[in-house]
């Protein structure tokens, strides 16, 4: 069984909430800025937070 530590980007489900800003989500999951979250998110997920949000529906 493989184990993978939960990362902050794993806790970004609130990106799909209506009206949620990247700044608010970044602070909620422990990033100091939306730029830092965006960079980490894209590195770990392969897509930008904006594209992830678009895919939420």
pLDDT tens column, 23-35:
999 998 888 999 9
Is residue 5, in this structure, part of any structural domain at all? no
**Please, what is the average pLDDT of the chain?**
86
Domain count for the chain, please give it: 1
CATH (domain of 42): 1.10.10.60
Q: Cα separation of 2 and 30, whole Å?
A: 25
- pTM equals 0.79
pLDDT tens column, 2-55:
555 577 778 888 889 899 999 999 998 888 999 999 998 998 889 999 999 999
* Three-class SS of the chain: CCCCCCCHHHHHHHHHCCCCCHHHHHHHHCCCCHHHHHHHHHHHHCCCHHHHHHHCC
Is residue 2, in this structure, part of any structural domain at all? no
Structural domain for 32, as ranges: 12-55
């Amino acid at each position: 069984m493989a184990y993978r530590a939960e990362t902050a980007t794993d806790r970004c489900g609130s990106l799909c909430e209506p009206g949620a800003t990247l700044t608010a989500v970044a602070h909620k999951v422990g990033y100091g800025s939306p730029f830092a979250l965006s960079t980490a998110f894209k590195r770990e997920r392969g897509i930008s937070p904006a594209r992830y949000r678009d895919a939420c529906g």
